Amino acid sequence: MFKNNYLILGMTFLLLIACIVFIGSTAIAQERLVLATTTSTENSGLLDVLIPPFEEKFNTRVDVVSVGTGKAISLAENGDADIILVHAKDAENEFVEAGFGVNRRDVMYNDFIILGPTSDPAGVKGMENASKAFSKIAKTNSSFVSRGDDSGTNKKELSIWASADIEPSGNWYIETGQGMGASLNVANEKEAYILADRGTYLAYSSDLDIEILVEGDSQLFNPYGIIPVNPAYHNHVNYQMAMAFVGYITSQQGQKIISEYTAYGKVLFHPSAIKLKNLK
């Protein structure tokens, strides 16, 4: 039976490792807060400096799940997250009105920008009105890349089309169904226009030929809100810890971390829970 020994040895070895890791993985018994947020927030790196002081103070673990705004909201509706940090004001209001969330607070804002090829075939460079710029792009049938993934950026883009009274369709309108980064690359390859959040654009800017053409319109304002899941609707959620996190992120300490955070040499987010002049 010597032949069999190697196999048995191998199997026992595997069994041993598996048992050890399985026991190891159950040993953690720390309190846990599941935060569903958008990819733009996590990719910016802000949460890596914002969350650790909270975890330490409250002896808890914040598990960040980063998905598109649409998916973050549906995770919360299903009770699979304790709290959400997203950017789509209308969808957030619907979420609260339907009774899924309570105590929404403003946290911070940044802005969207319209990018396009340097040749600028639609001639939108320097325009101050986003809907007018969109109309011009549509009228000249210039290629435009849309996320098409129900993310906060996609919702914003659709609302700008709606305000320009245009239903975008045709060969020039390219829906990628992918994240911001992948979509920026598509726009770059196709020399197309695209709406992007400033943070992701900065992360990619060294690899991109398309440039900022329109910025600064109030319509391009991008506010982030935080909403705990309603414990009356999903009674298993960690509501107490969620409210503690809301308290922390809107406190002097939390807002200060947001205002001081820079990436790629630029400030990415501006706190909005406390007025800048009151920030100590």
Partner 1 sequence: MDYILSALKDAINLILSLDPEVSNVVGTSLKLSLTSTFLAALFGIPLGIIVSKIDFKGKYFLNTVLNTLLSLPTVVLGLFVYSIISRRGVLGEWGLLFTIRGIIIGQVLLIIPIVVALVRNAIHDIDEKMYKTAMSLGATDSQKFRLLISEARYGIIGALITSFGRVIGEVGVSMMIGGNIKGFTRTITTAIAMETNKGRFGFALALGIILLSISFIINFILYFFQSGESK
Token pair 């958008």 is at which residue?
A: 38
CA distance 129 to 132: 5
Q: Whose CA is closest to 38, among 71, 62, 79, 80? A: 71
Of 27-86, which residues contact partner 1 (CB under 8 A)?
34, 39, 43, 48, 61, 63-66, 78-80
- Please say which residue, 124 or 195, places its beta carbon nearer to partner 1: 195
- Please say which residue, 236 or 280, places its beta carbon nearer to partner 1: 236
Position 271 contacts partner 1 (CB under 8 A)? no
CB 272 within 8 A of CB 107: yes
Of 126-155, which residues contact partner 1 (CB under 8 A)?
none
CB of 117 to partner 1, least distance (A): 19
Q: How many CA atoms lie within 13 A of 213 on its CB side?
A: 26
CB 199 within 8 A of CB 58: no
CB of 13 to partner 1, least distance (A): 9
Of 186-245, which residues contact partner 1 (CB under 8 A)?
200, 203-204, 207, 234, 236
- Please say which residue, 84 or 164, places its beta carbon nearer to partner 1: 84
Cα 121 vs. chain centroid, distance in angstroms? 31
| Alpha helix (H) residue ranges in 44-106 | 46-58, 69-77, 89-97
Position 12 contacts partner 1 (CB under 8 A)? no
CB of 1 to partner 1, least distance (A): 8
Q: How many residues does the chain have?
A: 280
Q: Which residues bind partner 1 (CB under 8 A)?
A: 2-7, 9-11, 14-15, 17-18, 21-22, 24-25, 34, 39, 43, 48, 61, 63-66, 78-80, 179-182, 200, 203-204, 207, 234, 236
